[in-house]
Amino acid sequence: MSQMLKSFAYLLSLGLFPLFLLQCQPEAPSAHTVFKHHPKDPYRINMVESQFFEVDTKLDQVVEGKEGTVIVMPKACFLYPDGKTVMETVKLELAEALQSSQMVLSNLSSAYQGELKETAGILFLKATAEGQDLDINPEIPIYIELPSPKRKGGMMAYKGTRDENGNMEWYDPKKLESYIIPLELELFNFYPPNFKLEVARSLPIGENQQISDALLDSLYYGLSNWGGTSSTMMIDPELKGKFEVGSHFHDSSKIDFKQTQAKSGANFCGIDPLKIKAIRSKDYQDSFLSSREFQKRLQSLYFCRSGEILDIYTNNLDKNLWELDSLAADAIKNDSLSQVFRAYQNEKLGSVQGDNIHVSILKDYYRKKLQSVLKQFREARYVVVYGKDSYGRVRDDSSYSRFLIFLKKKEVYRSERYGFTWSDQGWLNVARSCPIDSCVSQKMELLVENGNSFDRIDCYFINTSKRSVYPMKSSDSKSFNLGSLENQEMLIAPENSAIMLCLAVKNKQYFFGLNYVLTGHSRSIKMEPKPISPNKLAVKIKDLNHYTGESYSDFELLRALRQNRNAQPKLQWNQILNRLRERAFPGCR
């Protein structure tokens, strides 16, 4: 059991798990004090743990939390209370609550003025030097990035304070930054969805027993000659193995993008693979084509029948990304796919800012980190698949654990990000309101008939698909509701999965109850918390968190490689070719 959950169990054993304050909160505190919690905060024992960093203020610095939060601190960004620049080493405290389980155990509600907020993550930040709390220079602010499986529009950064009973108050929302940070092109996956997985399932191909960049590139770019109609395929002659189809070979070292545009006209269904080869050249290294945000859009563009939709982006590198999203949505004939690009448009992402100090620092940081992580991830995957590393050393019992560690790191670095400049310390929450036009006012009552028999009981409403945590209100420890005690309803997006969860303690025995619900319909649900051991409680709480879709694809790829590691050729080349065509041009099926 993790240290956090051990602390949680200890807290419950003391009967300190609190009821929530029932009074209304003011709109903003009268003063801002930098503290993580009050000495009497009943959640202090199981509060999300802090990490500490030593920061050299004479240099540009970047620190990274265990959950993937990145903080950029330009030199001379910290000030003493008298306004003098700090030139000594600064001690930076960071606490990250990016998972629902962390928010529940720390009682970190995402509500703002009685409204349920969808949160991307909650942080605590504090800098000290020589025993003094420091300020952040508003003219040289720090820059904070939070990883996110899926970036959503309308997110704001809220300042926060915490009262002595452990209740959070959020105020003074600020818009997030909209500019884009380009990374190294070779760090991205430019292949169509599941193309790499199909190659892995088809191994061995010729003499190629293992998946490699050379194999993937040759197979994918070779499909350019197919064009949705032809039965021939261009193959890189330097690729190991004899499985050429047709006699047309191509030189992949130099490809002119404008020529591929002319070649890929109305008769070409889908995106010409040579267009993808072209945008992977160094000419586009510092454009938004080399960003996480464009990578997400590219995976959607593969489902367009017309490759000309991609040209909207490649021909307008000087425009804001949201403007191009709008043009793409207008041009796409498929209504459901068009709505995907409308959602991208609503993110309101801008363009690359080359002269921004935070951008230049981050670009260098991510390049070094992601290159290292990708190398370690591939080595760990190789050991898991083939039973030994590239030096012939046999794997041990920790091999799979190392694979999972580097998988998570890769996922964090490649994930989308919410970024914003910041010149305050203390608690902060990156969250957004439920869109008014897509939300309904909902009542949700949770009845715990024996609730007042416990020493302590607390119940939460957790919107799992929106990652929001809301402590339900009760005046009698039996009937728990959303909203306030006076107005027991709240605006909630319908048709979302949610959880109502209760934690309780009586005579040092722990009790747990959980119900799954679908939002959008007011209802009353009964719950009877059952006795539970600390170990099982740890599992239940951890289940609130989930892997993202990208890590799922990595598990699928790993499974395919392990299945084929000792396989003999079982597919004819034309069978492999047909399967790869389907993956390369998914919009043309």
CATH of the domain at 462: 2.60.40
The identity of residue 205, as a single letter, is I
Q: Is residue 96 part of a domain?
A: yes
Predicted confidence band of residue 254 (pLDDT cuts 50, 70, 90): very low
pLDDT surpasses 70 at 194: yes
Report the pLDDT value the prediction gives residue 241, as an integer from 0 to 100. Answer: 38
Report the pLDDT value the prediction gives residue 395, as an integer from 0 to 100. Answer: 62
Range with the poorest average pLDDT among 95-104, 240-249, 382-391, 549-558: 240-249
Predicted confidence band of residue 117 (pLDDT cuts 50, 70, 90): confident
Using alpha carbons only, give the angle 493, 494, 496 rounded to the nearest 5 degrees. Answer: 90
Predicted confidence band of residue 243 (pLDDT cuts 50, 70, 90): very low
* β-strands 523-526, 142-148 pairing: unpaired
Region 424-445: what's the mean pLDDT?
82
Judgement on whether residues 78 and 207 belong to the same structural domain of the protein: no
Judgement on whether residues 337 and 365 belong to the same structural domain of the protein: no
Q: For the chain, how many structural domains are there in total?
A: 5
pLDDT greater at residue 362 or residue 559: 362
pLDDT surpasses 50 at 474: yes
Report the pLDDT value the prediction gives residue 496, as an integer from 0 to 100. Answer: 75
Give every CB contact of residue 262 below 8 A, 6+ residues apart in sequence. none
What does the alpha-carbon distance between residue 296 and residue 298 come to, in Å, rounded to a whole number?
A: 5
Range with the poorest average pLDDT among 189-193, 329-333, 397-401: 397-401
Q: Which span out of 8-22, 372-386, 516-530 was modeled with the highest average pLDDT?
A: 516-530
Q: Is residue 547 part of a domain?
A: no
What does the alpha-carbon distance between residue 250 and residue 268 come to, in Å, rounded to a whole number?
A: 18
pLDDT greater at residue 348 or residue 548: 348
Judgement on whether residues 231 and 212 belong to the same structural domain of the protein: yes
Q: Is residue 554 part of a domain?
A: no
What does the alpha-carbon distance between residue 71 and residue 80 come to, in Å, rounded to a whole number?
A: 20
Do residues 471 and 95 lie in contact, with contact meaning Cβ atoms separated by under 8 Å?
no
Q: What is the residue whose two structure tokens read 């945008």?
A: 279
pLDDT greater at residue 185 or residue 13: 185
User: SS3 for 257?
Assistant: helix
* β-strands 416-422, 444-447 pairing: unpaired
Q: Which span out of 95-104, 124-133, 426-435, 553-562 was modeled with the highest average pLDDT?
A: 124-133
For 344-455, strand residue ranges (E) read: 416-422, 426-432, 440-442, 444-447
pTM for the full predicted model = 0.73
CATH number at residue 115: 2.60.220.30
pLDDT surpasses 70 at 551: no
Which of 371, 387, 416 represents a domain boundary (last residue)? 416
Q: Report the candidate in 68, 74, 91, 36 with the shortest Cα–Cα distance to residue 423.
A: 74
Judgement on whether residues 11 and 140 belong to the same structural domain of the protein: yes
Torsion sign, CA atoms 285, 213, 558, 224: positive
DSSP state of 393: P
Q: What is the residue whose two structure tokens read 């070292």?
A: 253
Report the pLDDT value the prediction gives residue 214, as an integer from 0 to 100. Answer: 82
Q: Is residue 566 part of a domain?
A: no
Tokens describing residue 269: 């269904």
Judgement on whether residues 146 and 248 belong to the same structural domain of the protein: no
Report the pLDDT value the prediction gives residue 95, as an integer from 0 to 100. Answer: 97
Q: Which span out of 267-271, 352-356, 364-368, 478-482 was modeled with the highest average pLDDT?
A: 478-482
pLDDT surpasses 90 at 16: no
What is the phi/psi pair of residue 72, to 5°? -100, 125
Tokens describing residue 393: 């050393």
Give every CB contact of residue 218 below 8 A, 6+ residues apart in sequence. 235, 236, 239, 252
CA dist list (Å): 55 to 52, 145, 307, 422, 429: 10, 18, 48, 17, 23
Q: Report the candidate in 425, 545, 416 with the shortest Cα–Cα distance to residue 145.
A: 416
Judgement on whether residues 428 and 440 belong to the same structural domain of the protein: no
User: SS3 for 57?
Assistant: coil
Judgement on whether residues 42 and 176 belong to the same structural domain of the protein: yes
Range with the poorest average pLDDT among 39-43, 392-396, 570-574, 581-585: 392-396
Give every CB contact of residue 458 below 8 A, 6+ residues apart in sequence. 17, 18, 19, 20, 107, 471, 502, 503, 504
Cis bond before residue 141 (omega within 30° of 0) = no
Judgement on whether residues 467 and 497 belong to the same structural domain of the protein: yes
What does the alpha-carbon distance between residue 420 and residue 144 come to, in Å, rounded to a whole number?
A: 6
pLDDT surpasses 70 at 273: yes
pLDDT surpasses 50 at 25: no
Q: Is residue 565 part of a domain?
A: no
pLDDT surpasses 50 at 350: yes
Report the pLDDT value the prediction gives residue 557, as an integer from 0 to 100. Answer: 66
pLDDT surpasses 70 at 112: yes
| Owning domain of residue 203 | 191-279+571-589
Do residues 321 and 180 lie in contact, with contact meaning Cβ atoms separated by under 8 Å?
yes
The distance of Cα 226 from the centroid of its chain, to the nearest Å, equals 36
Q: Is residue 284 part of a domain?
A: no
Q: Is residue 139 part of a domain?
A: yes
What does the alpha-carbon distance between residue 64 and residue 354 come to, in Å, rounded to a whole number?
A: 23
Give every CB contact of residue 216 below 8 A, 6+ residues apart in sequence. 191, 195, 196, 199
Predicted confidence band of residue 51 (pLDDT cuts 50, 70, 90): very high
Q: Is residue 252 part of a domain?
A: yes
DSSP state of 580: H
Judgement on whether residues 296 and 345 belong to the same structural domain of the protein: yes
Which of 372, 400, 432 represents a domain boundary (last residue)? 432
pLDDT surpasses 80 at 53: yes
Judgement on whether residues 179 and 50 belong to the same structural domain of the protein: yes
Q: What is the residue whose two structure tokens read 């064009």?
A: 227
What does the alpha-carbon distance between residue 102 and residue 544 come to, in Å, rounded to a whole number?
A: 9
Mean pLDDT over the full length of the chain: 79
pLDDT surpasses 50 at 424: yes
Q: In what side-by-side order are the strands of the sheet with 70-73?
A: 61-64, 70-73, 142-148, 416-422
Region 243-253: what's the mean pLDDT?
35
pLDDT surpasses 60 at 379: yes
pLDDT greater at residue 348 or residue 488: 348
Judgement on whether residues 113 and 55 belong to the same structural domain of the protein: yes
Judgement on whether residues 160 and 309 belong to the same structural domain of the protein: no
Q: Report the candidate in 423, 461, 454, 420 with the shortest Cα–Cα distance to residue 529.
A: 454
* β-strands 426-432, 456-463 pairing: unpaired
Q: What percent of the chain has pLDDT over 90?
A: 30
pLDDT surpasses 50 at 14: no
Tokens describing residue 419: 């970024």
Predicted confidence band of residue 515 (pLDDT cuts 50, 70, 90): confident
What is the phi/psi pair of residue 22, to 5°? -105, -10
CA dist list (Å): 471 to 18, 22, 105, 459: 11, 11, 11, 6
Range with the poorest average pLDDT among 35-39, 149-153, 263-267: 263-267
Give every CB contact of residue 432 below 8 A, 6+ residues apart in sequence. 117, 118, 152, 153, 154, 155, 156
* β-strands 444-447, 523-526 pairing: parallel
Q: Which span out of 15-24, 195-204, 262-271, 299-308 was modeled with the highest average pLDDT?
A: 299-308
What does the alpha-carbon distance between residue 177 and residue 175 come to, in Å, rounded to a whole number?
A: 7
